[in-house]
Amino acid sequence: MSENVNIAEIFGEDVFNDTVMRERLPKKYYKELRRTIDEGKELAPDLADVVAHAMKEWAIERGATHYTHWFQPLTGITAEKHDSFISPVRKDGTVILEFSGKELIKSEPDASSFPSGGIRSTFEARGYTAWDCTSPAFVRHDAAGAILCIPTAFCSYTGESLDMKTPLLRSMEALNTQTLRLIRLFGNTTSKSVKPSVGAEQEYFLVDRERFLQRKDLIYTGHTLFGAMPPKGQELDDQYFGVIRERVAAFMKVLNEELWKLGIPAKTQHNEVAPGQHELAPIYSDCNVAVDANQLTMEVMKKVAERQGMTCLLHEKPFAGVNGSGKHDNWSIVTDDGINLLEPGDTPHDNVQFLLVLTCILKAVDEHADLLRESAASVGNDYRLGANEAPPAVVSAFVGEQLQDVLSQLISTGMATSSKQGEKMETGVRTLPDFMKDATDRNRTSPFAFTGNKFEFRMVGSSESIAPPNIILNTIVAEAFAEASDVLEKAENFDIEVHNLIKKYATEHQRIVFNGNGYSDEWIEEAERRGLPNLKSSVDAYECLTSEKSIKLFEKFGIFTKEELESRQEIKYEGYAKEVNIEARTMIDMASKSLIPSCLKYSKVLAETVKELRDAGADDTAAKEILYEVTDLTIEAKNALQKLIDDDAEAVSKGDVRESAEFCRDVVKADMAALRAPIDRLEMIVDKDYWPMPSYGDLLFEV
């Protein structure tokens, strides 16, 4: 048994948090820094020097030798370049360790090697990372030693954002401004700022590392591109919340400890639906902190797994035939003095501010459903959305029975006079305590579900950054609040006007609300009748980034310029085509060099068996039938392989990134499926000793 830990003692020990700052900074500077962080003031150079010095001393005590500006370029993962604290060696051969305010607040990585979608050309390579002092610096320990990591935003020389954090911070600022306008109208004069709170539930798979290394598809693409279903999948529903295997439990223990030290409040852990699948959820925090924490969580998961002889798969669909992984983005809006604007109270029908907030959000989601869908678009997530295990590609909102009833009253009579209440739970067992049911049941199939005092956006893929969905949520809701405030600030009779607005929004955006089964075919038909967009592939979704409506929205709130949107769109088309291309080439490699040759070897053995049986005068029927079957399927695979080779070459040769992406979506992906089908059937026939890689069964059940 490994030793026990005291969470309170280790929590945040590697974070330059408020307590450390208070201890280590002269009072005057501490106060100034606090103001900078809390009120978003600019960081003065002398303050930066003092903070940098304190940070360096603290980091060195924690063993740090290097620092890095830790940022999130448009690759979807984090980037870092390490610099040691060493400054020029002195004449006497000794060194001093330095870290200046300038080095803390700004760094200059070469921007030309990161995706920029045409914004940067290689000859104008300057890019800057700038400290986001609202997300704490931390020391990370791994094989590289200890490194002081400073969360930063990444921009080009000309000020365009080249990362996820810059637009995220801009969107938080927009939401702050517009929400303050709205709550002032309701008489709130005390709240000073508003931030979105976010908690991201993270799903993942663990597989044995030795077996992982025997599969090229896992190595190159993070998921399996071939693989027949084992005799047992997830049909018994015996995995979800099941007893956690020792090996996995040991992983979770170390993972939790590492996260706690980094100040990430890991809270919940359990087995997920598929064999080999698990989940971790932290306690929610400020939006940008939660985004950083989620990136860090994914990194730590991978490292801890590796140290324990396993590999953590964060891909959206590691295995066909069992559930894939997602990330639920829980989102609410909270003031600095702790008021959650999504808290309905016990009687939502007379909570006018809540009803306006709710209907504004419904309006925002209805008007920009395409953008929300796009924010969860990726090659990996295309394997999952709409496959009856994750929400469909159609965005709708679940509000639950109680709020639906209030909205219906508003729409039909213009007045809401009551709220359905939770009833007493009858278990039928005397010894169980009585308790009150929630007024509303849950819905597991909705992409955007109201869950008590937050919305839960469930489309996001497990490997993706949660920055994009939060940028969209913050911005579209800021727009809805701005429009409501425009009307209400001019209203002669506020009460009447607010009431009219709520009714108007509820009525006009009814179509986005759906409380039924989001996995059913009927809903997809119904959604089409309602005129809701159904953007099945990521390639379909990328288009909306540069629609007139989107450009207007993003420019109005200073989140993205038209050029930034165009560049991001280009990066996405290109990224899609590249990723599908890698998958196709991996399949080609595996089929040509390993799978088909193995089938041929086995055919040879079968042919020899047939001959031997015949020579011995024995019945060769069975051997012959298997031989024919293997031969037919191998021919089918060989033909499919050739088609994939040809079409993939065509996809690559297209000059336009969008055309290339569309060709991948329509042709290459179909070819990949056509190659996979005969190979998966062969896997079920060919002697296991001849199959060149671990099976699904080996990977999923023998962790």
Examine residue 454 and tell whether it contacts ligand ADP (CB under 6 A): yes
Examine residue 201 and tell whether it contacts ligand ADP (CB under 6 A): yes
Examine residue 450 and tell whether it contacts ligand ADP (CB under 6 A): no
| Strand-strand pairing, 106-107 and 82-84 | unpaired
Rounded to a whole number, what is the distance in angstroms from the first to the last CA of the chain?
Answer: 19
Q: Applying CB under 6 A, which part among 218-226, 325-333, 477-485, 596-604 lies near ligand ADP?
A: 325-333
Distance between CA atoms of residues 66 and 672, nearest Å = 45
User: Between residues 196 and 694, which has the closer beta carbon with respect to Mg ion?
Assistant: 196
User: Between residues 151 and 518, which has the closer beta carbon with respect to Mg ion?
Assistant: 518
The interface mask with Mg ion, positions 291-330, x = CB under 5 A, is: -------------------------------------x--
Minimum distance between the CB of residue 329 and Mg ion, rounded to whole angstroms?
10
User: Between residues 372 and 693, which has the closer beta carbon with respect to ligand ADP?
Assistant: 372
Examine residue 198 and tell whether it contacts ligand ADP (CB under 6 A): yes
* Residue type at position 620: D
- Tokens coding 216: 């090229």
Examine residue 283 and tell whether it contacts ligand ADP (CB under 6 A): yes
- H/E stretch holding 328 reads strand 327-335
Distance between CA atoms of residues 422 and 438, nearest Å = 5
Minimum distance between the CB of residue 442 and Mg ion, rounded to whole angstroms?
9
Report which of 118, 127, 157, 76 is spatially closest to residue 567, judged by C-alpha positions.
Answer: 118
Choose the one of Mg ion, ligand ADP, none that binds residue 283, judging by a C-beta under 5 to 8 angstroms depending on kind.
ligand ADP
Distance between CA atoms of residues 82 and 74, nearest Å = 20
Examine residue 586 and tell whether it contacts ligand ADP (CB under 6 A): no
User: Between residues 224 and 239, which has the closer beta carbon with respect to Mg ion?
Assistant: 239
Choose the one of Mg ion, ligand ADP, none that binds residue 284, judging by a C-beta under 5 to 8 angstroms depending on kind.
ligand ADP
Minimum distance between the CB of residue 453 and Mg ion, rounded to whole angstroms?
13
CA 398 to chain centre: 21
Distance between CA atoms of residues 521 and 471, nearest Å = 31
Q: Is residue 619 packed enough to be buried (19+ CB in 10 Å), middle (13-18) or exposed (0-12)? A: exposed
* Residue type at position 640: A
Distance between CA atoms of residues 314 and 308, nearest Å = 17
Report which of 307, 299, 278 is spatially closest to residue 204, judged by C-alpha positions.
Answer: 278
Minimum distance between the CB of residue 201 and Mg ion, rounded to whole angstroms?
5
CB 53, CB 45: distance < 8 Å: no
- Tokens coding 519: 């996995």
Residues 6+ apart with CB under 8 A from 383: 223, 316, 317, 320, 324
Examine residue 269 and tell whether it contacts ligand ADP (CB under 6 A): no
Distance between CA atoms of residues 179 and 360, nearest Å = 11
DSSP assignment string, 241-285: TPPPPHHHHHHHHHHHHHHHHTT--EEEEEE-SSTTEEEEEEPPE
Q: Applying CB under 6 A, which part among 186-194, 328-336, 673-681, 688-696 lies near ligand ADP?
A: 328-336
Start-end of H helices in 490-561: 494-508, 521-530, 538-542, 548-556
Choose the one of ligand ADP, Mg ion, none that binds residue 136, judging by a C-beta under 5 to 8 angstroms depending on kind.
none
Match 């599908």 to its residue by tokens. 580
**For 397, which DSSP code?**
E
Examine residue 642 and tell whether it contacts ligand ADP (CB under 6 A): no
Distance between CA atoms of residues 125 and 112, nearest Å = 5
Minimum distance between the CB of residue 396 and ligand ADP, rounded to whole angstroms?
18
Q: Which of 129, 330, 351, 515 binds ligand ADP (CB under 6 A)?
A: 330
Q: Which of 281, 314, 480, 633 binds ligand ADP (CB under 6 A)?
A: 281
Nearest residue to ligand ADP, by Cβ distance, number only? 199
Helices and strands, counts by H and E, the chain: 25, 15
Examine residue 64 and tell whether it contacts ligand ADP (CB under 6 A): no
Examine residue 416 and tell whether it contacts ligand ADP (CB under 6 A): no
Q: Which of 297, 451, 462, 474 binds ligand ADP (CB under 6 A)?
A: 451
Choose the one of ligand ADP, Mg ion, none that binds residue 454, judging by a C-beta under 5 to 8 angstroms depending on kind.
ligand ADP
Minimum distance between the CB of residue 202 and Mg ion, rounded to whole angstroms?
11
**Total binding residues toward ligand ADP, as defined by CB under 6 A:** 15
User: Between residues 281 and 397, which has the closer beta carbon with respect to ligand ADP?
Assistant: 281
**Total binding residues toward Mg ion, as defined by CB under 5 A:** 1
Examine residue 197 and tell whether it contacts ligand ADP (CB under 6 A): yes
* Residue type at position 255: L
User: Between residues 217 and 464, which has the closer beta carbon with respect to Mg ion?
Assistant: 464
Q: Applying CB under 6 A, which part among 49-57, 61-69, 276-284, 594-602 lies near ligand ADP?
A: 276-284
| Strand-strand pairing, 64-70 and 145-156 | parallel
User: Between residues 73 and 199, which has the closer beta carbon with respect to ligand ADP?
Assistant: 199
Examine residue 179 and tell whether it contacts ligand ADP (CB under 6 A): no
Minimum distance between the CB of residue 133 and ligand ADP, rounded to whole angstroms?
23
Q: What are phi and psi of 613, to 5 degrees?
A: -65, -45
Which positions lie near Mg ion, rule CB under 5 A? Answer: 328
Which positions lie near ligand ADP, rule CB under 6 A? Answer: 197-199, 201, 281-284, 330-332, 340, 451, 453-454
